[in-house]
Structure 1
């Protein structure tokens, strides 16, 4: 357990991607089964501990210390696992046996809901601070170490000196703690067979268009199509098994039973998941969010926001793998195939006729539908290749919108940022100019440098007018306030916000120390964008 705790500590303190990869591969190399398999399961977010919930953890803590003192401690630290690991009473004597990660996981997973708190308390009583932190991270399910499931799979590929695409194609047919996978990667056993049906296929990704990229390309060699503002998915139905996968390989079928029921075909399709009623209405990303990240979806939500896939590509039809065919050939096969599918659940993303990059740029800047966020440019002869090869596919998104807004609230961050106010809620002016008020329009927690973070944090502390636990209300009026230039990808109407609008992907693009608060933008500026 101590080695896993050390891995988590070092991953939190290592900012670089390559540094994290090295740490994980070294761990796989030095730790035996089943511990490394359970570590992999935890890092990829697939480890579930049903017997313990965060509320139980809080109850255990307040049995051991004053609840007000714990509240102050949690407010200061900003992370539940870190706070509990620090304030938990130290054992009176050192434990004779430090459990392995495998032993901890197996104890917790075998515990009943009624036994769970006692089992957890026993483990924490016999662990040091770092091990307690790791155990709590396991039971709460949020490691917050800056490692994605994709990065963990890349570490496996580096460990076994194989292509990450091989790992991804096997992944959904494997079971924790992945003994057969590690045996193959170490050269001790043959490659696991793809026994599961309807497996995920590694996605082909694009590069953003950068300066002078298009000048080197011949327009006649490429096909353009619209880039829709949903989420990239694979709809795979083969051998009687139906799965809907996100672009990272997560099985999201459970949140979209209406769509899965319509996957009455034998194929693997690549497309954009959207909601709406075809062909009349395509909903916004805000509408799609009503369906995302749910374990179960009510009939009312399914009826109000029916899901469909706008198809971009086809990877397999029946037993025929089409990925090595040129894009234009796959496109013809896709056009014929989509015509056979349920028209309320599957349609085709149209291509865009163009003869020059200037013509395409004009179309990109004025798309025919508000749910379009740009264009995709695909080389006619490109095979469907896993990863992000430079040259075959490009994405050319619309230029981001920007507004000047005023900082209204700030909240402590997590992990490395737990000592800083790094999550910012900002607003714009509403009402008559002589008696305007600020209304919140968004929240952002990135886009600024570490030095700018320190500057904003000091500003928040110096200008706090009210406190609400980990949140501070900052002075913001016509004569005093910090103006933030906020960039965002799109804007939707929202009944959940007082302003009536919700931003898509907001981030801080610039600190406007030079601009008076009363000169920040007005709500009418945003509503005009909607209109």
Structure 2
């Protein structure tokens, strides 16, 4: 456990990507099985402890610490793990902690009523950095600037294996990943994973540079499609079994039985998950009502049926066709959907275009009239390459909408921002009151954050735990991708991907937008 705690500390305090990879590579190379396998699972979000929640950890600490003192400390520090590590009143380092594998077993098999006693005992025995690591690993809220891909890159660095080869087997293996490490260290062959039993890393696009890239692209070389406003998915159908994965490889089949139960044939498809009837997409806000749920309710399935708009094919039956050019994969996809008439899959149409000016007009019209996110440009000769290769696929997103709003509430951030009020709720005028339309926590510089934090502290009119209500005087120019109606917000409007575009110190709050102006951003049904 000591080595894992030291690794987390290095990862949290090291901004350098290369140094993170170096630290991970060294840890994986020097840590025995199965500890390193469990560490890999924790770092990549593959492990969770269903009975260990933040509320249980707080309950454990509050049995030893004054609640008011804990609340003040948590509000100031902003990170639960760091707060518990610092405030736990008993001296640490009295005894060596169990190994990481032993801790995983303890947290898994200990009955819930006995967990506070176990956690309290471990916190007392642990050093400060080990306490912090214990909280991080049990809650899964690492916040250390590490992605699953960075961990896989470190495995490639440690072993000399190709990153893509590691990606190919990743979703077909399970923790503690002994077969993975045996292959990486040359003790066995690469794990043989059936293509139908695993997720395949997706091909991603690059944002287009309108001035540099667009003039060089021609319709003879690049096909254009709509950028659909849903979520990217991979559907795998083989031998009557159907799997559905998100772009990060999460299995979401149980949440969309109305899709997986109605698919037939053998193929691996790449596409967009949408909701709507007769293949007419509803808004992203409608789709959100079905996302982040382990299972779907009968009501949601009836009211918001899901479907897939396919735009690429990776396997045609058992044949891997990713090395074929896009034009041939597209023809295979069209043939499959023609041959296997699907009730919940249709195909993303190709857009006819002759030059950049024409495509720009199409893109603008699609955003204004249909609510499309923009257009995609795909090199007709490109193979399907995992990752984000340059020059093959481009995304040309619609121009963001911009509106002036009024800051209403501010909340402390997390991690490096835990000392600053960096999470902002803003609103617009509805008659004589201001109603919230969104939240944002990025789009400003570090210098602007310090200035905003100072203004918020000096203009607070009420506090609700970690949240401060401020005078309705400061205007934010907010950029957002789209707006939808929402019965979950007092304003009746929800913004997609809002971010702070500019701080309007110069503008009076009375000149901010109204709810009627916000409604104008919502596409007509």
Bin of the TM-score, shorter chain as denominator length: over 0.9
CA distance in structure 1 between the partners assigned to 2:277 and 2:480 by the alignment = 27
Provide the residue aligned with 1:76 in structure 2. Answer: 76
TM-score (norm 2): 0.95
Total equivalences in the alignment: 521
2:512 to 500, 520, 524: 520
CA distance in structure 2 between the partners assigned to 1:96 and 1:114 by the alignment = 24
Instruction: Please say which of residues 319-328 and 5-14 is displaced more in the overlay.
Output: 5-14
2:466 matches 1:467 = no
Provide the residue aligned with 2:435 in structure 1. Answer: 439
**Aligned-pair CA distance for 1:341:** 4.6
Superposed, which structure 2 residues align to 1:496-507 within 5 Å? 496-507=488-499
Judged with a 3 Å threshold, the aligned counterparts in structure 2 of structure 1 residues 111 and 195 are, in CA distance, closer, same or farther, namely farther
CA distance in structure 2 between the partners assigned to 1:508 and 1:229 by the alignment = 22
Determine if contact 2:97/2:122 at 8 Å carries over to the other structure. Answer: no
1:510 to 495, 502, 508: 502
TM-score (norm 1): 0.94
Provide the residue aligned with 1:449 in structure 2. Answer: 445
2:342 matches 1:350 = no
CA distance in structure 2 between the partners assigned to 1:297 and 1:176 by the alignment = 28
Determine if contact 2:404/2:477 at 8 Å carries over to the other structure. Answer: yes
**Aligned-pair CA distance for 1:524:** 1.8
**Aligned-pair CA distance for 1:232:** 0.7
**Aligned-pair CA distance for 1:508:** 0.8
Partner secondary structure for residue 202 of structure 1: coil
2:256 matches 1:264 = no
Judged with a 3 Å threshold, the aligned counterparts in structure 2 of structure 1 residues 269 and 416 are, in CA distance, closer, same or farther, namely same
Determine if contact 1:367/1:374 at 8 Å carries over to the other structure. Answer: yes
**Aligned-pair CA distance for 1:24:** 1.9
**Aligned-pair CA distance for 1:397:** 0.8
2:8 matches 1:22 = no
Determine if contact 1:90/1:128 at 8 Å carries over to the other structure. Answer: no
Gaps of 5+ in 1: none
Superposed, which structure 2 residues align to 1:20-419 within 5 Å? 20-91=20-91, 94-194=93-193, 197-210=196-209, 211-279=211-279, 281-341=280-340, 343-367=342-366, 370-419=370-419
Provide the residue aligned with 1:483 in structure 2. Answer: 475
CA distance in structure 2 between the partners assigned to 1:12 and 1:58 by the alignment = 22
CA distance in structure 2 between the partners assigned to 1:174 and 1:469 by the alignment = 43
Judged with a 3 Å threshold, the aligned counterparts in structure 2 of structure 1 residues 27 and 344 are, in CA distance, closer, same or farther, namely same
Instruction: Please say which of residues 452-461 and 508-517 is displaced more in the overlay.
Output: 508-517
Determine if contact 1:49/1:108 at 8 Å carries over to the other structure. Answer: yes
CA distance in structure 1 between the partners assigned to 2:39 and 2:460 by the alignment = 42
1:211-253 deviation per Cα after TM superposition (whole angstroms, max 9, x unaligned): 2202222332111111101111100112443211111222222
Provide the residue aligned with 2:423 in structure 1. Answer: 423
Quote the RMSD (CA, aligned, Å): 1.7
**Aligned-pair CA distance for 1:466:** 0.4
CA distance in structure 2 between the partners assigned to 1:125 and 1:94 by the alignment = 8
Partner secondary structure for residue 3 of structure 1: helix
CA distance in structure 1 between the partners assigned to 2:278 and 2:339 by the alignment = 15
Instruction: Please say which of residues 32-41 and 346-355 is displaced more in the overlay.
Output: 32-41
Judged with a 3 Å threshold, the aligned counterparts in structure 2 of structure 1 residues 424 and 60 are, in CA distance, closer, same or farther, namely same
Partner secondary structure for residue 7 of structure 2: helix
Partner secondary structure for residue 395 of structure 2: strand
**Aligned-pair CA distance for 1:117:** 2.4
**Aligned-pair CA distance for 1:178:** 1.0
**Aligned-pair CA distance for 1:340:** 4.3
CA distance in structure 2 between the partners assigned to 1:32 and 1:25 by the alignment = 13
**Aligned-pair CA distance for 1:94:** 4.1
Partner secondary structure for residue 425 of structure 2: strand
Gaps of 5+ in 2: none
**Aligned-pair CA distance for 1:10:** 2.1
CA distance in structure 1 between the partners assigned to 2:456 and 2:46 by the alignment = 38
Instruction: Please say which of residues 222-231 and 182-191 is displaced more in the overlay.
Output: 182-191
